[in-house]
Amino acid sequence: MKKQLIYSCLLIGATFIAGCTKNFEQINTDPTKVAPTLISAPFLMAQAQIKFSNSGYDQLLFQSMWSQSLASTYDYYGNGDKYIYAGSGRDYFSRTWNTSYGSSTLIDEMKNVIKGNAAFSNLDNCGTILRMMILQRITDAYGDIPFSQEGQAKDGIVAPVFDTQQSIYTSMLSQLEAATAALDVSKAGPSSDLFYSGDVSKWKKLGYSLMLRAAMRLTKVDPATAQKYAEKAYAGGAMSSIEDNAKVKADNTNGNGNSDAAALLVTDDFREVRWSKTLIDYMKLTADPRISAIAEISTGTGKKANETQVVGVNTASLQVGMPNGYDLKGGATDIANAPGYPGTSPANPAVTGDADAPVGKYSRPQFAVYDDRNRYNFLMTYGESELLFAEAATRGWSTGTAATHYANALTADLQTLAQFGTTSVPAASIATFVAAHPLIAGTALQQINMEYFVHTSATFNFNETWANWRRSGYPVLTKVNYPNQFATTIPRRIPYPLGLPSTNAANYAAAVARLSGGDTFIAKVWWDK
C-alpha cells in the first residue's frame, strides 16, 4: 500500500511538471517549481476525487469489520475484527484523517486558483459539494475536527481549531444548500470531472442527495433540522436513477489502481478475508439474489486453491458467512470452534506440500468483482438516497411515499451491481425480489436500514455502512469478545491521529475534553446518541 501511495504522488508530481514545462520558454519559470496560476484547476478536483474514493485499507481494516460486513482470521485485521491492536493498526487509525484531508486540500487549492473568476463558478460550487462529502467522512469518524479553519496554512493557520460537530453539520447543510442552488446547468461543468464528466445537472442531484444524507445523520439529536433539510432535498431534486451514482473508476495503468483490490490481492488477505455471517445470513433469510453476484468460494480444495486468484463458485446455496472474532491459533477462539463451522477445505493430495484451508468453505468477496484494480469506487448512490427518503417519509416528513422510495431503492441497489462491469443480477430476479419484499409499516425502519447495510456492504462503501449503523442501530450487532481488546463495545469512533497532541496541543485537548469518555474508540460523536 505504501508503494501505491508513493506511485500516485509521483504521478501527480510528474503531471504537474509536464503541465508547467510545456510553455517553459514563454513563462520563464523555474522547472522545479509549480506556479499555482498554472495548475489546471479541474485536474486538482479530479485528483481529489480519485484520492478520496480510493480508501483501501483505510476502511477495510476497521469500518468493514466493525459493521460486520466482512470478517477475517488474519492477524492484520485484528483491529477491526476483534478490537485488538494488530499489524500496523496505530498507523492506519490516521488513514481516514490523512487521506480525506489530503483530498480536501486539493479542493482548497483549486478554489484558491479560481477565486473571483466567474467563468469557473460551476467548478467552484462542485468543489464545495465535494468538500462537504469529504469533511463529513472525517467528522463522522472522529467527531470534532478542523473545519472552519481547515486548509488555511498559507494564511498562517497551522494549528486550526476543532469545530464542534454540531456547528460543522449546521455549516455543511448550509453550504450544500447554497452551492447546489448556485449550480447553473446552462454553463459548462468541471472539465476533468471523474463523477459525471462535467454534467452539472447530475452534480445538482448529488448536492441534494448529500444534503439528505447529512440531514438524516441528525435524526437522534436534531429531528427538526433533519426534517427541514430532508424536505428541502426532496423539493430540490435528488438522484433519480443509478446513472446518478457518484463513483470513480480506478486506473491501474496510470498509477491509480483500486486500493481495495490491492489490499485484497495480498495473499493472506485473499485467503482469509471473508463476507461476514451477519451479512450472508441476512441475505439468505431474504432469499437475496445478490448473493450469487457478490460471493464465492474457491473452485478447489486446500490452501493452494484458496490462494489462487481465479474466479470461484458463486452458487448461492454454497455460500457461508464467517463469524467475526475468530482466529487460527488452535485455542478457544479458533475458527474450528465457531458455531456452525462448515469444516475445513481439505488439502489437495495432487498438490505437493498442500495443506488444509480452515476458512476455505467460507464465502469471500468475488475475485472478478472486488479484486479488479480498475474497478469503480462508489461514494453515494441513488439507492442510498431513496432509502433515506423512505425513512424520512416513514417518519411522517414530506418526502413522498415511503413504500415507493423503498421499492425504487431495492431495484436500484440490485441494478447498481452491474456498474462494476463484472457481475449483475438478472432483471427477472430483481423484479421478483422487489415484489416479494414490500415495505411494511411495522418494520419499515428495520427493513430500510438493513437494506442500507446490504447495499453499502455490496458496494464496498464501508465508511457509510459503519456510520449508518451507529445512527440507525441496524443491523443489531453482537460485540465480539476476545482477549486484550482496546474497546469494551463495538467501536463508535476512531481516536485522533497520534501526532495531534504535539502539533496542535491546545485545540486537540479542547476537542478531547468535549468527548464523553475521552479520545477512545467507545466515545460517541455528537450525532451518535
Please state, in angstroms and rounded to a whole number, the distance separating the CA atoms of residues 175 and 168. 10
**Which helix (H) or strand (E) is 70 found in, with range?**
strand 70-72
Q: What is the sign of the dihedral through the CA atoms of 106, 94, 467 and 146?
A: negative
Cα dihedral value 386, 389, 391, 394, nearest 10:
-120
- pLDDT confidence of residue 39: 59
pLDDT tens per residue across span 34-83 = 444 435 899 999 999 999 999 889 899 999 999 999 999 999 999 999 99
Q: Read off the pTM.
A: 0.93
| Residue found under cell 504535539 | 502
- pLDDT confidence of residue 21: 31
- pLDDT confidence of residue 90: 76
- pLDDT confidence of residue 91: 80
Q: What are phi and psi of 163, to 5 degrees?
A: -70, 150
Q: For the chain, list residues with pLDDT below 50.
A: 1-38
- pLDDT confidence of residue 432: 98
pLDDT tens per residue across span 421-448 = 999 999 999 999 999 999 999 999 999 9
Amino acid type, 97: W
pLDDT tens per residue across span 355-377 = 999 999 999 999 999 999 999 99
Please state, in angstroms and rounded to a whole number, the distance separating the CA atoms of residues 72 and 263. 13
Q: In sequence order, which residues have a C-beta less than 8 Å from that of residue 461 and are 6 or more positions away?
A: 378, 379
- Chain CA centroid to CA 85, Å: 22
**Residue 159: strand, helix, or coil:** coil
Query: End-to-end distance of the chain based on CA atoms, in angstroms?
Result: 35
Please state, in angstroms and rounded to a whole number, the distance separating the CA atoms of residues 509 and 507. 5
